[in-house]
Amino acid sequence: MGALHQGHLDLVKRSKENCDTTVVSIFVNPTQFNNPEDFAKYPQSLNDDLALLNTEGADYVFTPSVETMYPQKPQMTLDFGPLEQVLEGAFRPGHFNGVGLVVSKLFHLIQPHIAFFGQKDLQQVAIIKRLVLDLSFPIEIQTIPTRREKDGLAMSSRNRRLDAVSREKSLLLFHSLSWAREELLNGADWLEVQQKVIRNFKQTDGVALEYFDLVGTESFEILKAFDHNQKSSLCVAAEVGKVRLIDNLSVNA
């Protein structure tokens, strides 16, 4: 959705390594925002984005208007079942319907052979994989690892809205994920780990935790216990200052 950072450019780089032609779409999609204020404040920097993509060697950039993508208000909805009823789906009703609609449109218009998405939006990746499977899109989905700042914060366009104090407090997300993963791999009980993280967030002013959960990496089923033999990931969402941030970390995926 624009306001590009190195994480986005990693997708472009991987595409150029695997494909003859690389197409980048930039579109702040209104149908996936359940909060109008969040949509209005979403950072946009198209000229800077185009300069970065030119340097990176993208072949085409598709920057449609809202009127182009939605000449009429969409009437249909997409229901991803249990996959969208937890975490981001639970806290952002209608979000994944909007994601599914716009990605379907982009797939139809561009007709890629391979599409690249970042691991930071792990639940979104699962949604898109389900979309491709259920609608028989002849597209391979590749997931690219999360690009992080030197201190561990997951790169995000929303980070631009963090002031200095909130930027420092935002590290609680990554530190909590890293600590919890280490505890689980060392045999700690998941529910006890989860409760310690929740208490830590409650004790930190200016940070409001929405969820901190262990999920099956592919199914996104909420897990009540950690199993070394099951692919799982830790997922977190929190409001830091007035900026909503998400992150995740694979435990044994």
Q: Which of 8, 113, 175, 228 is catalytic?
A: 8
**Could you confirm whether 8 is annotated as catalytic?**
yes
Q: How far apart are CA 217 and CA 39, in angstroms?
A: 28
Token pair 């060697």: residue: 57
Q: Which CB contacts under 8 angstroms, 24+ apart, belong to 75-84?
A: 76/101, 78/104, 78/131, 80/127, 80/130, 80/131, 82/220, 82/221, 83/123, 83/126, 83/127, 83/130, 83/219, 83/220, 84/127
Q: How far apart are CA 250 and CA 253, in angstroms?
A: 5
Query: In this structure, what token pair is assigned to residue 165?
Result: 């104090």
Cα distances from 46 to residues 15, 58, 206, 208, in angstroms, run 21, 15, 31, 31
C-alpha count within 13 angstroms, C-beta hemisphere, residue 88: 27
Residues annotated catalytic, as ranges: 8
